[in-house]
Homo-oligomer: A and B are copies of this chain.
Amino acid sequence: MNKKKPSVLEVAKEAGVSPATVSRVFNNNLKVNSEMKERVLAASKKIGYKRNFYAKALIEGKTNFVGLILTRFEIRHYTGIVSAAESVIDDAGYIFVVTSSKYSKQKEQEKITLFSDLNFAGIVIITVGLSDEEIVDISKKSAPLIIFDRKVKGYEDKCIYFDYCGYQKSITELLINKGHQDILHLCGPTRLQVYKEKFNGYIRAMKENHLSARINYIVSDRATNEAGYNIMKKALKNRKFTAVVCQNDQLAFGAMSAIKEHGLTIPGDISITGFNDVPEAEFTSPSLTTVNFDYAAVGNFIGRKILSEIKKEKFTDSVPFFKIIERKSVKTL
């Protein structure tokens, strides 16, 4: 049994043509007689020929890999996005692969460099470690690079970002319009742009409505269920708020648990809102009023954006809008 994979030479011999012709056939090169094409295809099939990806990559200096570098695989609301992006990119004939940086600046850098050295056709990254300047700098020598969920100065047109400030402001205003004045804000780590923006949105909503926001926010280092629970536990010791605006659904879930444990009802005693609309948000008790992030639309957008970048086509679509989903966790005072 001969283990060695057949190459163009074997196919050429089998089909009675030159290796160049075989190559042309597989490149959809038009300059090839249809009869010969048939012969080549038949011969390839017969001996089980497959193009060698690496020989091609070596000579062409490019590949059809598209890489996504996440922060962490565990981020609940990213998973649906990744899935949708994969569909678009797969369908376009590219090989889509995902990795993560685990919030390490060094790993972000290493993986961009790695994928670039591997001549990836395109890279999408969710980066929190690299500075704006570093990103601009790296992008100059890297494969086509798209930044997700962040606006980088001097690189805006390659960034996909959302008006988190505006959305967080809107949902805060929803609470204000329903009569709430003392509104607590549960923040994620504000060194990350996403959380910082949301924080700004909350502050603006409060200020514009002449409400005191100064001491009514708590910044946690991680935006998890657990953090929400722990923070709320403390906050309840000296409660002077009727509503809580959380920067994501997980914080809200944790906070809801603490509130109930404290013997308070939602939304009877305390109203609460989330952000992202993860699948669980509809099935908590009460169901959570939150900001819906259309995963499929966003993932699709990412896919089309990186593909247009690869093909150097214009891409002027504007980012999908989010919408507030009103459920049962907010009471009118």
Contact = CB atoms under 8 A, between A and B. Distances in A.
Nearest to A58: B54
Contact of A284 (B72, B226, B284): B284
A277 to B, nearest CB: 12
A55 B118 CA distance: 11
B282 A225 contact: yes
Contacts of A97: 67, 97-99
A177 to B, nearest CB: 27
Contacts of A287: 257
Interface stretch (A79-87, A181-189, A193-201): A79-87
Interface string A201-227: 000000000000000000000001110
Q: Is the interface of A mostly helix, strand, loop or mixed?
A: helix
A114 B86 contact: no
A246 interface: no
Contacts of A55: 54, 58
A272 B102 CA distance: 35
A35 B257 CA distance: 66
A133 interface: no
Given A54-B57, A118-B53, A283 B229 contact: yes
19 contacts: A53-B118, A54-B58, A72-B79, A74-B83, A76-B76, A79-B79, A86-B100, A96-B99, A97-B98, A98-B98, A98-B99, A224-B279, A225-B280, A225-B282, A228-B283, A250-B279, A253-B283, A257-B282, A257-B283
Interface of A: 50, 52-55, 57-58, 67, 72-74, 76, 79-80, 82-83, 86-87, 95-100, 102, 114, 117-119, 224-226, 228-229, 250, 253-254, 256-257, 260, 279-280, 282-285, 287
Given A225-B279, A257-B285, A280-B280, 5 more contacts: A224-B279, A226-B279, A228-B283, A257-B284, A260-B285
